[in-house]
């Protein structure tokens, strides 16, 4: 069929939609040289007329469907295509979410893109455009011309529908649009901050302007109202008039009213009760706003919106840049929300569908089938509309938005399925079901905006013909601004109250236990310790308090399930006690033990933990929903149990006991708390300097090592170390060392927290580790290992060397002890009982209490000890020979000879030496297998068995 023939035929047609739609589509196939549905696919498996939802093929949802290409909905001539689009939206999921959604009235065509994660474009053309080769009009869903849209004719667009859908794919993702918006608003914020405008004032102005742009593009504000204000004053350059007009618009948006020729609906929601426009808004800012207004605001991504806009007010430009370059994606957030909120709901919904379908197969009347479906579907939908989701550390609302979006998606599926039984359900999942707690002013306000944008965006995409609610916004009073952990009553600290909820989700603040006082202050930390005494160990990370509160809410029936994010440290040490409490009153049903994440723009490693009262029967470890976040660790693993250290091993090492035989052997090194360390050249000068009392400075100046000296090359550092208990008067007699720390340490110490000032004198180290010093007395050497390292290796250190707190030291000098520590048995045990750091590629933390004091040494005979000692001596000698070879070697080459690089390379001689050592240690345990034959999990199980047979400390 020729184009002119096609246009003439359908210009003359006055037939109804039902009478003409299949013939019209067949003519289109002839026009573009494609096979018709019946010619291409007689069975209707991938290309068909009247394609229905899965399981109910005869209900005729889509007028035409082509798998992986399009769903097509017809309406009669000059009918409302918005309603047609709303209709095809309702069942797109049932048709495998085709990338293109087409609506047509036999003369007008709209091709809506439906690609995941991109902005939405609409290609508009008519029959006349088909015959004239006119370029199609491409616009965003908000109605603005699409940037970077291809220059295509109507015939090319039609051909692409059949052969190359990706040719019509928008080039910009929703995240990119959101990033662009955040950067431009950042320019405005920087300009206003230069005039010393308060941050919250800037924030509130930016969010109001941003919402105006969004409201315009989704049709809630008249097209001309906001954009005309920008355009008019951009041309005139009258910034004062712009500020006046914008303030008036904000006031009208609060309660509604006339704005020029436009009628402004009532928005309310607290946002527009503030009509402030900073007086320093200039012509330059208006030009930036004009660029912002050109963006497709209907396609912003709410899941990352909050994070990016929080970055606008970051004073630290490096952190602001990091937040803009790296942020938590929606797919990552779904890994928290999906298992705890949606997975149980989807399972229940599938059960209901199964019951409905089974009953529909019976020989009963259509009315009976409909009534049965109604009784099953409507209660489930009511439940969806009453579920409450709490994020008690909600930040800018990303987790709450994703929760709502997932609930809306399931509700849409329920509505579409119910319609196949002629049951009408009005979508009612609403932002009022979301509860949050946030202490930060801006993040608290932003959370409500993120949620509302997501909700209104969903309505625009799925119910474009639906009238807006009045008022359009409601104050989300259930997102509270307060401290989530500690409150006050009558001047005394009490536990903060959380609202009741069905599900608790969130990302509590990542703050290590040792940083609590520095970041939160002594007074707050003391109050927190008092409130949670006996429930959360005082050395625990801050996130543990959220875990304990969520656990208590479940135990008391104020919540059903929870899933929270934590640093990987949650799996070990004091932090793990909070998970042990979880398992005492309930259980862990889901966990990601080791997951890449983004925190403040940096790549970190985290754990995710889902828990309940123990009712959830299915347990999943390291589960990942197909098609979500990148860098997946592993697929679903259904397990019998999830231990408190987030493993599924039957050998639950959290049950391991500290052994009497191993206490008072391992110690953390000295904590200096200040710049007491000095280079070797300065140390030599001090050692040669005289003192008024005639004593040598060697009494207080000694060699010093930390973790870098072990993993890399020794730096030959020294340290000033006044013995514990030495008075300031006596310390001053060591003149050169004392004067040095008086200049370099005392000023820093004077600014320390009161706890630190009261705990130790300014001239002394923060933690001398007197127990360690006493244990090392009389030894010629001792064993040291870095607390954190990629590989677990041990080295010999001379007793005169002071080990830093980044080392764990062992008060033993025998090669047998050194050899067992360096065996595979101890390394596997240490990894099972230790924790991996949150920073990617940073390695594992070795904790004396869990990694060493629980480790059961073999009951070796004297001959076995001798064999292990020889293997250990050989390993150490070979390593030292490689690290410090005899003969000439350039400094550059020598610098590469580090233990880390050696174990990265693992040359054959190193593997052989370790294998010999491992075989000797295995023999001492009485194990017949060769070391490679015993899997890690089985090895841990054997060691745990031995541990539980030994005398506990």
310, 324 contact by CB (below 8 A): no
Give the single-character DSSP code of 800. Answer: T
Provide the pLDDT for residue 61: 74
The two tokens of residue 209 are: 């302007």
Which residues of the chain are under the pLDDT cut of 70? 52-60, 313-327, 600-602, 624-636, 751-759, 836-843, 888
The number of angstroms, rounded, from the C-alpha of 632 to the middle of its chain's C-alpha atoms is 13
Provide the pLDDT for residue 758: 54
Greatest pairwise CA separation for the chain in angstroms? 116
pLDDT tens sequence across 42-58: 999 999 998 864 434 33
The number of angstroms, rounded, from the C-alpha of 908 to the middle of its chain's C-alpha atoms is 40
The number of angstroms, rounded, from the C-alpha of 23 to the middle of its chain's C-alpha atoms is 51
Q: Report how far residue 722's alpha carbon sits from residue 724's, in angstroms, rounded to the nearest whole number.
A: 7
CA distances from 401 to 106, 306, 753 (A): 39, 10, 39
CA distances from 331 to 399, 597, 619 (A): 11, 11, 21
Which residue in 710, 909, 917 sits closest to 820, CA to CA?
917
- One-character DSSP codes across 889-902: --HHHHHT--HHHH
Q: What is the mean pLDDT of the chain?
A: 89
| Residue corresponding to tokens 């052989």 | 912
Phi and psi, residue 934, nearest 5°: -105, 110
Edge-to-edge order in the sheet of strand 835-836: 788-789, 844-845, 835-836
Provide the pLDDT for residue 626: 54
E strand residue ranges, 744-869: 781-786, 788-789, 795-798, 802-803, 807-810, 835-836, 844-845
Provide the pLDDT for residue 902: 95
Helix (H) or strand (E) holding 646: none
Q: Report how far residue 628's alpha carbon sits from residue 636's, in angstroms, rounded to the nearest whole number.
A: 13
Provide the pLDDT for residue 631: 40
Provide the pLDDT for residue 58: 38
Q: Report how far residue 678's alpha carbon sits from residue 740's, in angstroms, rounded to the nearest whole number.
A: 10
The residues, ordered by sequence, that sit 6+ positions from 595 with a Cβ below 8 Å of its Cβ are 335, 605, 606, 607, 608, 633
Q: Report how far residue 709's alpha carbon sits from residue 727's, in angstroms, rounded to the nearest whole number.
A: 31
Q: Report how far residue 814's alpha carbon sits from residue 141's, in angstroms, rounded to the nearest whole number.
A: 74
How far separated are the first and last CA of the chain, in Å rounded? Answer: 91
H runs (alpha helix) in 258-329: 283-293, 302-310, 317-325
The two tokens of residue 33 are: 């040289």
Cα pseudo-dihedral 37, 42, 43, 47, rounded to 10: -20
Q: Report how far residue 112's alpha carbon sits from residue 96's, in angstroms, rounded to the nearest whole number.
A: 16
Residue 737, classified by CB atoms within 10 Å of its CB into exposed (0-12), middle (13-18) or buried (19+), is buried
456, 438 contact by CB (below 8 A): no
Q: Report how far residue 351's alpha carbon sits from residue 327's, in angstroms, rounded to the nearest whole number.
A: 37
Q: Report how far residue 446's alpha carbon sits from residue 454's, in angstroms, rounded to the nearest whole number.
A: 12
- For the beta carbon of residue 95, count every other beta carbon within 10 angstroms: 20
The radius of gyration computed from the CA coordinates of the chain, to the nearest angstrom, equals 34
Provide the pLDDT for residue 601: 57
Q: Report how far residue 499's alpha carbon sits from residue 315's, in angstroms, rounded to the nearest whole number.
A: 33
Strands 137-140 and 257-259: what pairing? unpaired
* CB hemisphere CA count around 544 (13 angstroms): 30
Q: Report how far residue 758's alpha carbon sits from residue 745's, in angstroms, rounded to the nearest whole number.
A: 16
The residues, ordered by sequence, that sit 6+ positions from 889 with a Cβ below 8 Å of its Cβ are none
pLDDT tens sequence across 646-667: 988 878 888 899 999 999 999 9
CA angle 443, 464, 7 (to 5 degrees): 140
161, 130 contact by CB (below 8 A): no
Strand partners, 603: 598
Whether pTM > 0.85 for this model: the answer is no
The residues, ordered by sequence, that sit 6+ positions from 579 with a Cβ below 8 Å of its Cβ are 547, 570, 571, 588, 609, 644, 645, 646
Peptide bond into 471 cis (omega under 30): yes
Cα pseudo-dihedral 844, 847, 851, 854, rounded to 10: -160
The residues, ordered by sequence, that sit 6+ positions from 684 with a Cβ below 8 Å of its Cβ are none
């Amino acid at each position: 069929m020729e184009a002119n023939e096609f246009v003439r035929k359908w210009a003359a047609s006055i037939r109804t939609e039902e009478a003409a739609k299949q013939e019209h589509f067949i003519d289109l196939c002839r026009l573009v040289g494609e096979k018709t549905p019946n010619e291409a696919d007689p069975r209707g498996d991938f290309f068909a007329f009247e394609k229905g939802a899965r399981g109910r093929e005869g209900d005729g949802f889509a007028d035409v469907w082509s798998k992986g290409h399009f769903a097509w909905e017809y309406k009669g001539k000059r009918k409302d295509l918005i309603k047609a689009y709303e209709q095809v939206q309702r069942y797109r999921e049932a048709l495998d979410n085709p990338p293109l959604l087409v609506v047509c009235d036999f003369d007008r065509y709209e091709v809506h893109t439906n690609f995941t994660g991109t902005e939405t474009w609409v290609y508009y053309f008519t029959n006349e455009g088909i015959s004239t080769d006119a370029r199609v009009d491409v616009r965003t869903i908000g109605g603005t011309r699409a940037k970077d849209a291809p220059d295509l004719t109507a015939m090319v667009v039609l051909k692409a529908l059949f052969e190359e859908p990706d040719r019509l794919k928008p080039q910009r993702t929703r995240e990119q649009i959101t990033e662009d918006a955040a950067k431009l608003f950042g320019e405005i914020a920087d300009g206003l901050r230069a005039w010393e405008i308060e941050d919250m004032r800037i924030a509130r102005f930016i969010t109001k302007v941003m919402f105006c742009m969004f409201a315009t593009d989704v049709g809630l504000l008249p097209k001309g109202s906001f954009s005309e204000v920008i355009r008019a004053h951009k041309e005139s350059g009258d910034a004062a008039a712009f500020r006046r007009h914008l303030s008036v618009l904000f006031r009208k948006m609060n309660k509604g009213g006339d704005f020029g020729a436009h009628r402004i609906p009532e928005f309310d929601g607290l946002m527009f009760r503030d009509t402030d426009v900073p007086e320093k808004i200039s012509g330059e800012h208006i030009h930036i706003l004009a660029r912002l207004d050109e963006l497709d605001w209907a396609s912003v991504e709410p899941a990352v919106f909050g994070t990016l806009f929080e970055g606008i007010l970051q004073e630290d430009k490096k952190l602001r840049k990091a937040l803009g370059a790296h942020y938590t994606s929606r797919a990552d957030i779904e890994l928290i929300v999906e298992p705890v909120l949606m997975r149980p709901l989807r399972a229940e919904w599938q059960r209901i569908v199964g019951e409905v379908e089974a009953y529909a197969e019976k020989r009963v009347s259509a009315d009976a089938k409909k009534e049965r479906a109604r009784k099953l579907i409507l209660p489930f939908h009511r439940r969806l509309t009453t579920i409450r989701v709490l994020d008690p550390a909600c930040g800018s609302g990303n987790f709450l938005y994703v929760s709502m979006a997932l609930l809306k998606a399931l509700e849409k599926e329920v509505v579409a399925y119910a319609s196949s039984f002629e049951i009408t359900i009005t979508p009612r999942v609403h932002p009022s079901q979301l509860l949050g707690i946030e202490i930060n002013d801006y993040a608290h306000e932003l959370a409500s905006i993120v949620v509302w944008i997501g909700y209104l965006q969903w309505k625009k995409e799925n119910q474009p013909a639906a009238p807006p609610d009045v008022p359009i916004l409601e104050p989300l009073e259930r997102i509270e601004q307060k401290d989530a952990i500690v409150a006050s009553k009558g001047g005394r600290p009490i536990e903060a109250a959380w609202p009741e909820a069905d599900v608790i989700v969130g990302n509590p603040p990542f703050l290590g236990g040792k940083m609590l006082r520095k970041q939160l202050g002594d007074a707050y930390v003391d109050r927190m310790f008092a409130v949670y005494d006996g429930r959360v160990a005082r050395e625990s990370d801050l996130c543990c308090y959220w875990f304990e509160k969520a656990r208590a809410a479940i135990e008391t029936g104020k919540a059903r399930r929870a899933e929270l994010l934590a640093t990987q440290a949650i799996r070990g040490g004091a932090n793990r006690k909070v998970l042990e409490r979880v398992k005492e009153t309930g259980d862990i049903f889901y966990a990601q033990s080791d997951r890449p994440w983004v925190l403040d723009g940096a790549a970190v490693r985290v754990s995710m933990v889902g828990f309940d009262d123990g009712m959830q029967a299915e347990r999943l470890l390291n589960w990942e929903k197909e098609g979500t976040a990148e860098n997946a660790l592993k697929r679903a693993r259904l397990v019998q149990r999830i231990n408190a250290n987030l493993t599924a091993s039957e050998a639950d090492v959290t049950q391991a006991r500290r052994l009497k035989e191993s206490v008072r052997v391992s110690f953390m090194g000295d904590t200096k708390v200040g710049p007491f360390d000095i280079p070797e050249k300065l140390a030599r000068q001090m050692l040669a300097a005289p003192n008024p009392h005639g004593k040598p400075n060697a009494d207080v100046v000694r060699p010093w090592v930390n973790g870098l000296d072990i993993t890399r090359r020794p730096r030959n550092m020294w340290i000033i170390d006044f013995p514990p208990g030495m008075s300031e008067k006596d310390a001053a007699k060591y003149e050169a060392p004392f004067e040095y720390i008086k200049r370099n340490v005392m000023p820093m110490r004077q600014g320390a927290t009161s706890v630190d000032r009261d705990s130790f004198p300014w001239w002394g180290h923060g933690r001398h580790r007197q127990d360690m010093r006493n244990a090392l007395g009389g030894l010629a050497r001792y064993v040291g290992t870095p607390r954190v390292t990629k590989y677990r290796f041990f080295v010999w250190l001379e007793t005169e060397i002071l080990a830093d707190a980044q080392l764990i030291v062992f008060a033993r000098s025998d090669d047998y002890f050194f050899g067992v520590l360096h065996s595979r048995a101890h390394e596997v045990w240490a990894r099972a009982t230790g924790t991996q750091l949150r920073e990617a590629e940073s390695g594992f933390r070795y904790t004396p209490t869990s990694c060493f004091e629980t480790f059961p040494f073999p009951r070796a005979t004297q001959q076995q000890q001798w064999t292990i000692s020889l293997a250990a001596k050989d390993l150490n000698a070979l390593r030292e020979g490689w690290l410090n070879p005899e003969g000439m070697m350039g400094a550059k080459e020598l610098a590469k000879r580090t233990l880390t690089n050696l174990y990265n390379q693992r040359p054959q001689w190193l593997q052989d030496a370790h294998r010999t050592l491992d075989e000797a240690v295995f023999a001492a345990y009485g194990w017949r297998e060769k070391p490679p034959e015993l899997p890690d999990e089985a090895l841990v199980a054997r060691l745990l068995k031995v541990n539980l047979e030994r005398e506990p400390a």
